[in-house]
């Protein structure tokens, strides 16, 4: 969840995260999700499982992967309301 990521990051480091930190958080989350739900033993297994991942909701938005394992992201806009980040729909 976007708000949880920003809250925990700010609590730990005393500043708002930059995009690269949110991207690293999402990358780790995607890796863990692929590994926990699949019997991954090789790089090929991981690549196959990765392209099956659909609509991963992370701090940087929704991510899926195409057949070439290139990330497909849904663009989004954020606003601050009541001291929390919200995604504009």
CA 6 to chain centre: 13
pTM listed for this prediction: 0.75
pLDDT value at residue 89: 66
Confidence of residue 48 (pLDDT cuts 50, 70, 90): very high
Phi-psi map region of 19: left, alpha, beta (phi>0 left; psi -120 to 50 alpha): alpha
Higher pLDDT among residues 1 and 34, named by residue: 34
Q: Residue 68 and residue 57: Cα distance in Å, rounded? A: 20
DSSP strand pairing (56-58 vs 77-81): unpaired
pLDDT value at residue 2: 66
Tally Cβ neighbours within 10 Å of residue 64. 16
């Amino acid at each position: 969840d976007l708000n949880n990521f920003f809250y925990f990051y700010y609590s730990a480091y005393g500043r708002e995260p930059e995009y690269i930190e949110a991207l690293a958080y999402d990358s780790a989350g995607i890796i863990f999700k692929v590994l926990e739900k699949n019997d991954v033993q090789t790089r090929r297994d991981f690549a196959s499982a990765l392209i099956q991942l659909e609509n991963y909701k992370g701090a940087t938005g929704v991510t899926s992967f195409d057949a070439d394992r290139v990330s497909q992201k849904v663009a989004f806009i954020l606003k601050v309301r009541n001291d929390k980040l919200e995604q504009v729909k």
